[in-house]
Amino acid sequence: MTAKTKKAETGTHESDNPKQDPKDTSNRIKDPKDWTTGSEPMTGAQASYLKTLAEQAKDEDAFDPDLDKAEASQRIDALRKETGKD
């Protein structure tokens, strides 16, 4: 049975996919303060990028290894604007 046949049998259509529904806002960008995992430690990727941006901005105080995910995201956004990477 092909995927098309299965869709036809179950009555589902590609337009039923919430990822393709333009009215579905569940996967939209959220403010970091609203993240459910925002209080977890920042990821390795965030730490690396934040360190790079802090060096480019010549702001050694911008990098703090104890930031959580939300704080790191906000600081990355600010440094991106400051360094013209926005």
pLDDT averaged per 10 residues in sequence order, the chain, 86 residues: 54 58 62 68 94 93 92 92 86
How many structural domains does the chain have? 1
64 within a domain of the structure (yes/no): yes
- What pLDDT is recorded for position 86? 73
- What pLDDT is recorded for position 17? 63
57 within a domain of the structure (yes/no): yes
77 within a domain of the structure (yes/no): yes
4 within a domain of the structure (yes/no): no
Closest by CA to 58, choosing from 30, 34, 82, is: 82
7 within a domain of the structure (yes/no): no
- What pLDDT is recorded for position 50? 95
Residue 50 CB-density burial (10 A; 0-12 exposed, 13-18 middle, 19+ buried):
buried
Structural domain including 51 reads: 44-86
32 within a domain of the structure (yes/no): no
73 within a domain of the structure (yes/no): yes
pTM of the entire structure? Answer: 0.60
Q: Report yes or no: 35 and 74 within 8 Å, Cβ to Cβ.
A: no
13 within a domain of the structure (yes/no): no
